[in-house]
Amino acid sequence: MQATLKVENKESNKLIARRFLNLVSEGNVEEVCKVISPSWKMHVGLGKAEIPSGHEGIRKLFESFGEIKQQWIVNDVIAEENKVVVRATNHCLQQSFLGVPSHGRSQTFTATFIHHIVNGKIQETWRNADDLGRVLQLGAEIKPLETAMKNKSQSSWWKYIFCALWWKRSY
């Protein structure tokens, strides 16, 4: 009986994790709020970006997207105990990402999410995505700092040093 409950919880948690990304694809922030706990916390990697906790945090995160059309495709879902790992691919069209304008170019990138789920609600989410690949798809370039400084008089010099500054954005 105990093993059956654990399997059912894992399957239920997998559905919750899939639903989270489906709702993000739809841009349905109010429904996402029903899937996360009031104290939800998102960890976005090594950068200094801080997302407020709870429903306020998810709303601020959605606001930071700006105008966006996106579709998440779930590639893998793995559950163990109260954690669910989702590997997914996103196809999106967004006005800009990390300050790099899209000029109508779409982006395709992968991301991995780890959700900590308790009592049917996502308590914490860890996100690791190919953000560098996204900005490169938009035309940003990586050049040595010396080259960037030589070109600083050009109007697009920021493209060359954005990597050093991207984590200073705020939600």
Question: Structural domains in the chain?
Answer: 2-140 (3.10.450.50)
Confirm if 125 and 114 have CB atoms less than 8 A apart.
yes
The letter for the amino acid at 146 is E
pLDDT value, residue 153: 54
Give which of 165, 120, 156 is closest to 138, Cα–Cα. 156
Local confidence pLDDT in tens for the 171 residues of the chain? 555 556 679 999 999 999 999 999 999 999 999 999 999 999 986 565 678 899 999 998 888 877 889 999 999 999 999 999 999 999 999 888 877 888 888 999 999 999 999 999 999 999 999 988 988 998 888 888 776 566 655 545 445 444 444 444 443
Q: What is the DSSP string of 40-88?
A: EEEE-SSS-----SHHHHHHHHHHHH-SEEEEEEEEEEEEETTEEEEEE
Record the pTM: 0.79
pLDDT value, residue 140: 85
